[in-house]
Amino acid sequence: MYGSFDIRFLITIISTSLITYLISYWLSRKKSKLILFAGIAFQLLVLGYFKYTGFFVDNVNAVFKTDINFAQLFIPIGISFYSFGQIAFLVDRYKEEIEHIDILSYFAYTLYFPKIMQGPIAFPKEILDQMFDEEKIKWNADRVLRGLILFSIGLGKKVLLADYLGLVVDYLYSQVYYLDTLCVIMAGLTYAFQIYFDFSGYCDMADGISRMLGINLPQNFNSPYQAESAEDLWRRWHITLNRFLIKYVYIPLGGSRKGKTRTLIHIMIIFTLSGLWHGAAWTYIVWGVMQGLTVIWDKVRPFKIGKKFGQVCTFAFFCFSMLFFRAKTLEESFVLIQKLFFFTWPGFTFRAVSNLKISELYVVREAVEMTSMQYSNILYMIIYLLLIGISFFVITRKNAYSFIEKKEFTKKELVGIALTAALSILSLSRVQTYIYFNF
């Protein structure tokens, strides 16, 4: 399946896995920091070549007025995820947290298909222990049912929410220089919902498939938009990336053991790396720095705020930060911010929502457009507001993981899940590429 995107993607992951396994074997024969560092350096060099060389060359050209050419051949899907997974394997082997395994078992870990393209970033022990547990991989009807439910919820998030919202998002960010203030607010809010439903939906589907196979993947999202502070949000958002950076970067740097100032510096390093991990662009780096500064503010602010007010402020700031995350350049981000704080109203709102030409509503849309284009605008606005309303409803409920841990499901719940799955399947003809495929 992975190789169907591009056979070079498969060649890359197999070759890097093979070399990493040989380094791991070398570590099993001789425990050496030099060997460990060589293995980590190899993974970082591969990741850097494919993902960051072009960015580095562009910045060198800009600073030194040179004209260095770099032809980017391809960027393997999911390279950031499986590179970190292989680094984790080497470090855990060095620390003897896991035993040396045979090469087929290692490839089973690195090539495990539900998580290969978008994670979550599972620690080796989490996957390997379950793969060798004969009891867990035995057929279990209840486990399969819960896996199907989790998969259906994730599919619904992706197809019925993220992809529909993405129609508006794509238009808004393609018209950065012409938007009005309300559209900028829409751009931040709508993309915050899109990226959450897109990424968490994938993770739900990946874990749903895994549960049916007898393997539980680590939870990657825990209702992040219910967070009361930035620090709380980053315990809930992309959990597996955060814990990877904490275990393999933050703690080795000294964590919180080196005093308050050093702790705050370490936090900034972690979030700057998190921004850079997401992509080779200054927009991602600035976004990461913004997140780090808000977490630091949460740690040093001299006052407390109420739970509800904290949730609103945290969510609002995260939506604001999406103006950097989604924009193509820093220039576009600053244009959006300028429009946000200097009120304009050229009337782009209806143009933005008119992109919600959902095929399932074709008959209704045609009937309304034949009556009046004014009514057509109202129809699209209703659809958009309905999607935003559903999004707010979903993020304020229990998350998918909490739902499937219930002892029993009611008939209404099962019918609702079945209906969600059916509607999602009917809408599969226009599925958009996953956002995190780019990372």
3-state secondary structure string across 118-131: CCCCCCHHHHHHHH
The identity of residue 258, as a single letter, is: K
At 20 the three-state DSSP class reads: helix
Domain boundary among 86, 101, 131: 131
- 334 and 212 in a common domain: yes
The identity of residue 70, as a single letter, is: F
- 237 and 101 in a common domain: no
Per the CB < 8 A criterion, the answer to whether 181 and 345 are in contact is yes
Q: How many angstroms separate the CA atoms of 421 and 152, rounded?
A: 5
Is the peptide bond preceding residue 120 cis, with omega within 30 degrees of 0? yes
Per the CB < 8 A criterion, the answer to whether 270 and 250 are in contact is yes
At 194 the three-state DSSP class reads: helix
Can you give the pTM of this predicted structure?
0.93
Q: What is the pLDDT along the chain (439 residues), one digit of tens a residue?
A: 676 777 888 999 999 999 999 999 999 888 899 999 999 999 999 999 999 998 999 899 988 889 888 777 788 888 999 999 999 999 999 999 998 899 999 999 999 888 888 879 999 999 988 888 777 777 888 999 999 999 999 999 999 999 999 999 999 999 999 999 999 999 999 999 999 999 999 999 999 999 999 999 999 999 999 999 999 999 999 999 999 999 999 999 998 888 899 999 999 999 999 999 998 899 999 999 999 999 999 999 888 889 999 999 999 999 999 999 999 999 999 999 999 988 877 678 888 998 887 766 665 656 666 666 667 788 889 999 999 999 999 999 999 999 998 888 999 999 999 999 999 888 876 667 777 776 6
Q: How many angstroms separate the CA atoms of 186 and 183, rounded?
A: 5
Residue 422 within a domain: yes
- 148 and 193 in a common domain: yes
Domain boundary among 96, 131, 166: 131
The identity of residue 99, as a single letter, is: E
- 153 and 17 in a common domain: no
- 346 and 216 in a common domain: yes
Helices of type H across 95-157: 103-110, 124-131, 141-156
* pLDDT for res 407: 83
Cα separation values, 321 from 117, 188, 310, 337, 387, Å: 25, 8, 16, 10, 21
Give 279's DSSP letter.
-
Residue 437 within a domain: no
Cβ atoms within 10 A of the Cβ of 231, count? 16
The identity of residue 1, as a single letter, is: M
User: What is the residue range of 115's domain?
Assistant: 2-131
* pLDDT for res 439: 64
- 218 and 332 in a common domain: yes
Cβ atoms within 10 A of the Cβ of 41, count? 11
Residue 310 within a domain: no
Residues 6 or more apart whose Cβ sits within 8 Å of residue 182: 345, 349
Per the CB < 8 A criterion, the answer to whether 107 and 24 are in contact is no
- 217 and 241 in a common domain: no
Residue 312 within a domain: no
Which residue is it, tokens 């219910």?
226
Domain boundary among 305, 337, 371: 305
* pLDDT for res 360: 66
Residue 316 within a domain: no
- 217 and 334 in a common domain: yes
* pLDDT for res 343: 84
* pLDDT for res 138: 79
Residues 6 or more apart whose Cβ sits within 8 Å of residue 404: 146, 149, 150
Residue 376 within a domain: yes
- 274 and 351 in a common domain: no
- 94 and 44 in a common domain: yes
- 93 and 16 in a common domain: yes
Say what the alpha-carbon torsion angle 401, 407, 413, 417 is, to the nearest 10 degrees. Answer: 50
* pLDDT for res 242: 95
Residue 278 within a domain: yes
- 95 and 115 in a common domain: yes
Residue 322 within a domain: no
Total number of domains constituting the chain: 3
